[in-house]
Amino acid sequence: NAGVTQTPKFQVLKTGQSMTLQCAQDMNHEYMSWYRQDPGMGLRLIHYSVGAGITDQGEVPNGYNVSRSTTEDFPLRLLSAAPSQTSVYFCASSYGRENEKLFFGSGTQLSVL
Amino acid sequence: ILNVEQSPQSLHVQEGDSTNFTCSFPSSNFYALHWYRWETAKSPEALFVMTLNGDEKKKGRISATLNTKEGYSYLYIKGSQPEDSATYLCAFSRGTSYGKLTFGQGTILTVHP
């Protein structure tokens, strides 16, 4: 059972480049989300989805796009990378019911130069 | 934006000591409170999810309590071991659906042999 799979693990971009962080889960979870981790800031929610075709903004959505065409996949797109998006990104998923925990991917360390 | 406050920010204890941390959250419209353990170079892993006022959860030497009326949760570790060294995160959601899960900044625990 693979759980939540994130790719890539590391990425270096130049300012203005675009890229997609991939996230896939094989647990048939309805809820998927993206967080960023910055020193001293805790985990901050970027976007989340409560099911295929449904997405919503989190706390820090600017500069990021998401879509949820299937239950399994929830990619995060950076359309024009900025140095402020240098961070560690985590994808997480859950069954989405009130007493269900989050399962996290292994993280993507992104540097924007 | 919800404020989820964790205290202390960091804690150093000796092996065998018992310790506890606090998570404070807005008490209105409560939905669920999560606790996660985050070891260095790994992904956060769920410890507990609590939804009812007065909930108490236990997993080995670690336990947690919840007071939704006053907006706080305690995490207790009995007889700390070096392998308990990690960042402990709490996360809070409100409303009628899973939706936005807001994390605190975490408490960094170091257990010295």
For A11-47, write each residue's pLDDT tens digit: 999 999 999 999 999 999 999 999 999 988 889 999 9
Tens-place pLDDT, residues B35-68: 999 998 899 999 999 989 999 999 999 999 999 9
A70 pLDDT band, cuts 50/70/90, is very high
- DSSP E strand boundaries for chain B: 5-7, 10-14, 19-24, 30-38, 45-50, 56-59, 62-67, 72-77, 86-94, 102-103, 107-112
Mean pLDDT of chain A: 93
B98 pLDDT band, cuts 50/70/90, is low
What does the alpha-carbon distance between residue A47 and residue A67 come to, in Å, rounded to a whole number?
Answer: 10
- Give the A-side interface with B, CB within 8 Å: 31, 33, 35, 40-45, 48, 50, 56, 58-59, 90, 94, 96-107
Coil/strand/helix, residue A50: strand
Sign of the alpha-carbon dihedral angle for B102, B105, B107, B109: positive
Return the residue of B nearest to A5 by Cα. Answer: B43
Measure A39 CA to nearest chain B CA, in Å: 9
Mean pLDDT of chain B: 92
* Percent with pLDDT over 70 in chain B: 94
Residue A96 has a pLDDT of: 76
Cis geometry, peptide bond prior to residue B113 (ω within 30 degrees of 0)? no
Residue A41 has a pLDDT of: 83
Query: Cβ B104–A42 below 8 Å, yes or no?
Result: yes
Residue B30 has a pLDDT of: 83
Cβ of B64: how many Cβ atoms within 10 Å? 25
